[in-house]
Amino acid sequence: MIFKIVFDKIAAFFGLIVLLPFILFVSMLIKIKMPEGPVFFIQRRVGQKGELFNMYKFRSMSISHGGSSISVKGESRITPLGAVLRKYKIDELPELLNVLIGNMSLVGPRPDVPGYADKLVGEDRKVLLLKPGITGPASLKYANEEELLALQDNPEKYNDEVIFPDKVRMNLEYYYNRSFWGDLEIIWKTVLR
């Protein structure tokens, strides 16, 4: 456990240093292409032991949108630049700051918004004992989640009845079978993706 924490912090620190020029470049692009609004999107998410924290991402949507907490490919609220950032998961790079702060890990269940975390009952709540991650087994399986949801007549219903329960199942499996070497494999597969 301590080894994972130390590894996360060292990897996040050096990751932020190495990626700093790219992060600055993306920040400038966002200010040029989406001048109204901030560079970063900050959202309250449910972390370890159910505690709320601010998760940092690059902003990929217009600031004047309303809408669901799930995103579907092709939505008008996602800007053209935002679509590229989301496709290649570049929007998630600022989460390295969350890892450095200590409220996220490199590998773990993706942090949910409060409404979804509230749906966890019984044994499923064990996933809240883990630090949420930038990537994980469910993230790899549903790397194309927005495209998958775009094919559905009712994306929110499909997410609630199919994707969310499957992610919970996979996160619980990760809870019971996690290991440092398994985390390294997940990180490697994420980078190759």
Q: pLDDT above 90 covers what percent of the chain?
A: 80
Distance CA(98)–CA(24), nearest Å, equals 17
Rounded to two decimals, what is the model's pTM?
0.91
Q: What is the mean pLDDT of residues 64-69?
A: 58
43: left (phi over 0), alpha (psi -120 to 50) or beta: beta
Q: How does pLDDT run across 160-187, given as a tens digit for each residue?
A: 999 999 999 999 999 999 999 999 999 9
- Residues 116/118/123/129 CA torsion (nearest 10 deg): 90
